[in-house]
Amino acid sequence: MKILENEESFMLTIFWSYIKKHPYIYSLATVFALLSSGLAIVPNYLIQRFIDAMVNETLTNQNLGTYLALFLVSIVLIYLVDITWVVLLFSQSYRYQNTLRKQLYQRLLQLRTPFYERFRSGDLMTRMTSDIEFLGDTIGYGFMLIVSNVTWALSIFTIMVVTISWQATVISTLPLVLFAWAVFKLWQKVDVLYEANRDAVATLSNEVLEVVDGVRVMRAYGKKELEQTRFQKRTSEVLEKANHLVLYNGAVGPIAKLFTGLSMALGLMYSGYLISQGQMTIGQLISFQIYLGMLSGSIWGLSDIVLVYQQGNVSFRKVEEILTADDLVEKNGHQPLTGIENITFSDYSFQYPTSDTPTIQKINLDIQQGETLGIVGPTGSGKTTLIRQLLRQYPASSTGNLQINQQEIQHYAISDLEKLIGYVPQEHVLFSKNVAYNIGFGKHHATDEDILDVVASADFTKDVARMPEGLETLIGEKGVSISGGQKQRISIARGLIRQPELLILDDSLSAVDAKTEQAIIENIQAIRKNKTTIIITHRLSAVANAQKVIVMDQGAITEYGTPDALLRQKGWYYQQHLKQQLEDNQHENI
């Protein structure tokens, strides 16, 4: 199923194409709905015949039995027919939701960083959950409303005209037509109100996510009360928007009562006149009133479609926005990439889509297979921005060139590139599963041996031994129950298990002590002899054995060379080296 055929597609076209793709289910549901509408008239018709027989004193015991039996059979049949078509429609609606959710999820996996900088998590969650449910409702409940109410209204109207009186039918149904029009007008306004309500709920979801994420920080800074007030403000906004909706929905009930009352009164008056003229029986009068009740029910149902449609329309726009969202990153390249022999930046500058000035400028850098490159420099100097270019998180810049194996990076298939790179970011993402899962995540079908090997390389063996269930120990949501250093080492183990061609450690050892860091770096060097490694770090000891080190400052490379050469240059690297040595000595003396 494809929700969008082209940019101009709109909800009904999409629904119609979906319905056409499942002709049997929707045809069967329609046939059963028609059958149900036809059958719905039978019990009332039997009541009319029964009353007339009583009034005319022609009712016999045998007649009574027949009426009762037919009455019961028709009710059971209506029940069975209704169940069949409602189940058919609703199970199809769930299937639709399921397909749509998978499609949206797939899209979320494809979209890259610039997209996630535009949409907030709470908003995305609302799109993935309630918006999809509303779309499912529109195609399920909405379809049911149309088919059942239209067929019902038409068949009741016809039976009233044919078996009772066309004049009485027309006179008494006029108020119902007015009712449908009034409700239609009222609910045209619901679109804006519904969208405001839905957006308020999305903002609230985001607030909840942030609170759950940051509850410890809030406590630590004594900001609990402030956050509570902010949260209350958000809930009040949701309440206010919901109240507007309720006001509109609430107005429909009294209007319905007014018009159906009018309809019944007109019907009753005209029927009285027809009885006095001998053109209507008592049975017909009672039956006429029951039909009118049924007809107003179906008109009410039809007016409900406007609401379902409006809700569906708002949700459709939200889902469509994701499915057509552009993350501004170039289309996937087609050239396969099986190895990284060299990476070359030539006069390369890059500017974030939201920035006015380039963040990194005129970068000239050459990385050969098997080398270890160290990247150091003050915070905010552009180190992460530089390696983000290799991860294709943003559109490649047109200023200068970035090549892999002498080809522009954007010519390669992104999935190939991703397979070759192991990236350990600053912000560690751990899943609320066990340690083994979190590490094995880096490789398809990782064996216990693979996991134990990288656990040793990440200097995590002793930590695992102390955990209650070793590698099987569950780590809380986002690894809450383990320390920052442990999180970093799990992330490193995950990066190592893939044995990637290119390993990038982005300040990934900041939370471990210098000795542990040294041990991990030595392990990495030993197991990655012919592989390329990029280490971004604040601690210079981590790159002391690198073949090349670059120092970045304000987006440019200011120093470049071997660690020894950089020390001789007596620039930032040298100053930092002295400072860190002093700190280490002070530390040892404490």
Q: For residues 306 and 376, which CB has a smaller minimum distance to ligand ADP in the complex?
A: 376
The footprint of ligand ADP on this chain (CB under 6 A) covers a number of residues equal to 13
Binding to ligand ADP by CB under 6 A, coded x per residue (else -) over 371-410, reads: ------x-xxxxxxx-------------------------
Nearer to ligand ADP among residue 168 and residue 375 (C-beta): 375
Minimum Å gap between C-beta 117 and ligand ADP is 6
Write the binding mask 311 to 350 for ligand ADP: x where contact by CB under 6 A, - elsewhere: ----------------------------------------
The SS3 of residue 33 is helix
- Min dist. Cβ of residue 387 to ligand ADP (A): 8
Site residues (CB under 6 A) for ligand ADP, limited to 73-132: 117
C-beta of residue 458 within 8 angstroms of C-beta of residue 489: yes
Q: Give CA separation, 586 vs 95, 514, 544, 580, in Å.
A: 65, 13, 20, 10
Q: How far is the CB of 418 from ligand ADP (least distance, A)?
A: 20
Q: How far is the CB of 354 from ligand ADP (least distance, A)?
A: 5
* Closer by beta carbon to ligand ADP, 310 or else 381: 381
Q: Give the list of residues 6+ apart from residue 535 with CB closer than 8 angstroms, or none.
A: 372, 373, 374, 375, 505, 521, 542, 543, 546
Rounded to a whole number of angstroms, the minimum distance from the CB of residue 83 to ligand ADP is 54
User: What residues have CB less than 8 Å from 433, skipping those under 6 apart?
Assistant: 474, 475
**C-beta closer to ligand ADP: residue 352 or 574:** 352
Residue 475, Cβ density class (10 Å: 0-12 exposed, 13-18 middle, ≥19 buried): buried
Neighbours of 547 (CB within 10 A): 15
**Binding flag, residue 537, ligand ADP (CB under 6 A):** no
CB of 554 vs ligand ADP, minimal distance in Å: 9
Contact 569, 394 (CB under 8 A): no
**DSSP labels, 332-353:** PP-B------EEEEEEEEE--T
Exposure string for 413-442, b = 16+ CB within 10 A, e = fewer: ebebbeebbbbbbeebebeeebbbbbbbbb
When binding is defined by CB under 6 A, the residue of 359, 361, 457, 576 that contacts ligand ADP is 359
Closest to ligand ADP by CB, 19 vs 402, is 402
Two tokens, residue 317: 């726009």
- Give the nearer residue to ligand ADP in terms of CB position, either 113 or 434: 113
Are residues 459 and 452 in contact, defined by beta-carbon separation less than 8 angstroms?
Answer: no
372-376 and 532-536 beta bridge pairing: parallel
* Least distance CB 29 / ligand ADP (angstroms): 49
Least distance in angstroms from the C-beta of 434 to ligand ADP: 31
Binding mask 8-37 for ligand ADP (x = CB under 6 A): ------------------------------
Among 61, 355, 357, 585, binds ligand ADP (CB under 6 A): 355
Contact 368, 531 (CB under 8 A): no
CB of 359 to ligand ADP, least distance (A): 4
Rank residues 241 and 383 by Cβ distance to ligand ADP and give the closer one: 383
Query: Of 36-44, 62-70, 351-359, 455-463, which part binds ligand ADP (CB under 6 A)?
Result: 351-359
Phi, psi of 368, deg, nearest 5 = -100, 150
Among 354, 357, 530, 589, binds ligand ADP (CB under 6 A): 354
> What's the closest the beta carbon of residue 487 comes to ligand ADP, in angstroms?
19
Tokens of residue 474, six digits? 């569950």
Report the first-to-last Cα separation within the chain, whole angstroms: 67
Q: How is the beta sheet containing 360-368 ordered, strand by strand?
A: 360-368, 342-350, 401-404, 407-408
Interaction site with ligand ADP (CB under 6 A): 117, 352, 354-355, 359, 377, 379-385
